[in-house]
Amino acid sequence: MTSMRSGFRIAGAAAAAVALLTSCGRPSGRIGDTAAEAALKVYVPPGQYDEFYAFLSGGFDGQVGVYGLPSGRLLRHVPVFSQNPENGWGYTEQTKPMMNTSFGFVPWDDAHHPQLSQTDGVPDGRWLFINGNNTPRIARLDLTRFETEEILEIPNSAGNHASPFVTPDNEYVVAATRFSVPTPQRDVPIADYKKDFAGLLTFARVDSATGHMAIAFQIRMPGFDYDLSHAGKGPSNGWSFFTSYNSEQAHTLLEVNASQNDKDYIAAVNWKQAEQCVAAGKGRMEPARYAHNVMGDDGIARTEWGTSVRVIQPADCAGLVYFLPTPKSPHGVDVDPTGEYIVSGGKLATVIPVHSFSKMLAAIQARSFAGEVAGIPVLKYESILNCEVQNPGLGPLHDEFDDKGNAYTSMFISSEIVKWRVKDCQVLDHAPVFYSIGHLMVPGGDSRKPYGKYMLALNKITKDRYLPTGPELAQSAQLFDISGDRMKLLLDFPTIGEPHYAQALPASVIKDRQQKIYTLEKNADPFATKAEKDTRVVRKGGRVDVYMTAIRSHFVPDNIEGLQVGDSVYFHVTNLEQDWDVPHGFAAMGATNAELLIMPGQTRTLVWVPVRVGVYPFYCTDFCSALHQEMQGYARVSERGSPVPLAWNGPSGSLGKAKPVAMSH
């Protein structure tokens, strides 16, 4: 019995209750077409490509999942904040520094919001930024290599949730603290929250040529929780908007104590004004220690330590920040493609408020303020409101936009998406999702130029969508066709981690820019070995450096003797291949960390500390040729202080010959 009913069509615009029941009692969703029609829309025939790249955050797995749309096929899992033993990310000597922070080596984070770099407000396919929530960081991925290239720690922050939303030409990526904390950190009673805690908004400058980030300034705001952000565009270019909740400034039992106020705020920040204040010498340099980790052109990551940041007080920079009252504990804040409308999702609100940017400017001009908080003017709700979407559903969280003037809002509590017209707040359609949607994503849907066509629901609860897999079920993404008047569910597909936000853009923007190999000649790793004749093994005290090469289908050297228990053996493996898609792997028995996956032309280093005497194999883990299984070798480990000489075979070694060429120093 098929679980989708053919030819089903629901005419009414009923809300969450419109879950269709199949004969076995499972909701299948509104299939706007027949199952066969839906299948054809997502079917990518063998040998053909998907139309869009989609980048889904991994949430608590700390990584980025790259999927093709409309098929939902997983193309790559790019490690960012979390160590990844699959390819040695965060285990190799070259990549370990990427995880340095002021707290030490932190090999995990909670990644929520991927953001594609933009040119003129449109995703340009150069970089992908993503936030680390727990130990505040922003990472930048290079989309010619699908690798993490930079991680910047954000000081004075705690819970980097409202991050890393980009301005229309990547002038800045932002990072606002979800949890207010004492800044600088110090030992104070938690009960002194209102007096001592502040919430900082960080603006990190992005170098337009290299993408390198640098903290430009921070703004010290009242001790609220800052939740999400989006930048203005078009007429509102120059502003960034941040939601806040807990304007009550509660420090305990927030579920009750932070839900008292009828309205909290969107903070509208004029970053061009901030630039002028900085140029005029406003703000103060404050000491702050933070890590800035950059992957060098030589493939080696290095950490530079920041020692101070410029902090601006809103009171010292007139016109920098305004508060827009917004019902009620707002979560997402989204700016429509025209840049005129600012939409927020008040988790506990019964309406979706749409603020007007031009009305906001007029209200500022007229100084039509309802009061002020900590020196920040509060505008009047009525004077900035364009319209409210009435009775949209329950629990509005996030909005994305299409290319026809419509918005799509995720409703967490009523498990649905509501489509409505931005200019007059008219509800046009409802579609149930399965279940409890968080973010949603339209390709380009937070940019100046949404591509429309598809929408992806990123759901928190899966329950009955897939074959069960014990207590933890696969997360579900659901793809909709939004090209017509009604939203049509096309496909469910499982994701890895727990995706929060996502971004997507046409494959044509990046697919022909892919780097295929690392040029061996340009390999500047000091431990690179560019020819088999240069392979060697060098001992310095308890450290042994193995300069090894890999090419189909052998390692040089493939036999090593004279290692001793407790040595730190550095396997520096250079892949001599210069062909696309020919990595070699390297794994050593008894290694307690990871394997290496070495791209053509690249050098990667793994440290192995043998703990017992014996002869241990190492081998290539990536099925690289018909003789892949022959790509193996042995390392002989002797007692500490053993007279067995250090020796190896291969072009420059002479293992097993009369005279070993290299001895312990």
- Site residues, ligand CUA (CB under 6 A): 553, 584, 620, 622-624, 628, 631
Please choose, from the candidates 568, 560, 559, the residue with its C-alpha nearest in 3D space to the C-alpha of residue 640: 568
Please choose, from the candidates 321, 334, 322, 103, the residue with its C-alpha nearest in 3D space to the C-alpha of residue 217: 321
151 contact, one of ligand CUA, ligand RUQ, none, CB 5-8 Å limit per kind: none
Any contact of residue 217 with ligand RUQ (CB under 6 A)? no
Nearer to ligand CUA, 105 or 623 (CB): 623
Nearer to ligand CUA, 364 or 624 (CB): 624
Q: What is the 3-state secondary structure (H, E, C) of 278-344?
A: HHCCCCEEEEEEEEEEEECCCCCEEEEEEEEEEEECHHHCCCCEEEEEECCCEEEEEECCCCCEEEE
In the complex, the smallest distance separating the C-beta of residue 552 from ligand CUA, rounded to whole angstroms, is: 6
Q: Report the 10 Å Cβ neighbour count for 6.
A: 11
Listed in sequence order, the residues at least 6 apart from 149 whose beta carbon sits closer than 8 Å to its beta carbon are 127, 140, 141, 142, 211, 294, 295
Distance of alpha carbon 462 from alpha carbon 459, whole angstroms? 7
Of the residues 230, 439, 465, 572, which one makes contact with ligand RUQ according to CB under 6 A: 439
Any contact of residue 347 with ligand RUQ (CB under 6 A)? no
Of the residues 89, 341, 501, 619, which one makes contact with ligand RUQ according to CB under 6 A: 501
Applying CB under 6 A, what is the total number of residues that bind ligand RUQ? Answer: 11
Of residues 226-265, those binding ligand RUQ (CB under 6 A): 228
CA distances from 195 to 226, 257, 284, 377 (A): 18, 17, 20, 20
The dihedral through the CA atoms of 101, 106, 108, 110 has a sign that is: negative
Any contact of residue 331 with ligand RUQ (CB under 6 A)? yes
Any contact of residue 178 with ligand RUQ (CB under 6 A)? no
Nearer to ligand RUQ, 243 or 529 (CB): 243
Any contact of residue 438 with ligand RUQ (CB under 6 A)? yes
Nearer to ligand CUA, 460 or 628 (CB): 628
584 contact, one of ligand RUQ, ligand CUA, none, CB 5-8 Å limit per kind: ligand CUA
Question: What is residue 542's three-state secondary structure?
Answer: coil
Nearer to ligand CUA, 354 or 631 (CB): 631
Of residues 67-126, those binding ligand RUQ (CB under 6 A): 112-113
31 contact, one of ligand RUQ, ligand CUA, none, CB 5-8 Å limit per kind: none
Distance of alpha carbon 128 from alpha carbon 114, whole angstroms? 6
Q: How far is CA 593 from the centre of its chain?
A: 24
Of residues 517-536, those binding ligand RUQ (CB under 6 A): none
Listed in sequence order, the residues at least 6 apart from 325 whose beta carbon sits closer than 8 Å to its beta carbon are 263, 264, 265, 370, 378, 379, 380, 381
Could you tell me if 110 and 132 are in contact, meaning their C-beta atoms sit under 8 angstroms apart? yes
Any contact of residue 555 with ligand RUQ (CB under 6 A)? no
In the complex, the smallest distance separating the C-beta of residue 439 from ligand RUQ, rounded to whole angstroms, is: 6
Distance of alpha carbon 474 from alpha carbon 461, whole angstroms? 9
Instruction: Show the tokens assigned to 459.
Output: 């759901």
Nearer to ligand RUQ, 255 or 512 (CB): 255
Of residues 571-630, those binding ligand RUQ (CB under 6 A): none
623 contact, one of ligand RUQ, ligand CUA, none, CB 5-8 Å limit per kind: ligand CUA
Any contact of residue 333 with ligand RUQ (CB under 6 A)? no
Could you tell me if 616 and 635 are in contact, meaning their C-beta atoms sit under 8 angstroms apart? yes
Run of H or E including 647: strand 647-648
In the complex, the smallest distance separating the C-beta of residue 397 from ligand RUQ, rounded to whole angstroms, is: 5
486 contact, one of ligand CUA, ligand RUQ, none, CB 5-8 Å limit per kind: none
Any contact of residue 397 with ligand RUQ (CB under 6 A)? yes
**Chain residues in the site for ligand RUQ (CB under 6 A):** 112-113, 161, 228, 331, 397-398, 438-439, 500-501
